[in-house]
Amino acid sequence: MSDITMYGAEWCGDCRRSKRFLDTNNIKYNYIDIETDPAASDKVIEINGGMRSIPVIIFSDGTHLTEPSDIALKAKLEELKVL
């Protein structure tokens, strides 16, 4: 298990981009498809204050990013010394 969890869906372009970024940089993460896990969908809505925006990436420090750019994701991973 990883300290990073990503909530997403296969149809989501931003999710595919974030997955590609993490995979390319050999970052381990748990991927949860909100289309196949109703509880995960509810969690995303809770995190985003009622919005079902994805991807949501949760980090080991308890923070999260919603729909991050690759630049924002890279900065966060560097801050956590993962990248």
Three-point CA angle 8, 64, 83, nearest 5°: 90
State the pLDDT at residue 2. 74
State the pLDDT at residue 1. 56
Residue 63: give the domain boundaries: 5-79
Q: How confident is the model at residue 70 (pLDDT cuts 50, 70, 90)?
A: very high
pTM: 0.95
Number of domains in the chain: 1
pLDDT tens digits, residue range 11-63?
Answer: 999 999 999 999 999 999 999 999 999 999 999 999 999 999 999 999 999 99
CATH number for position 34: 3.40.30.10
State the pLDDT at residue 50. 97
State the pLDDT at residue 53. 97
Three-point CA angle 7, 13, 17, nearest 5°: 75
State the pLDDT at residue 26. 97
DSSP E strands, 9-74: 30-33, 56-58, 64-66
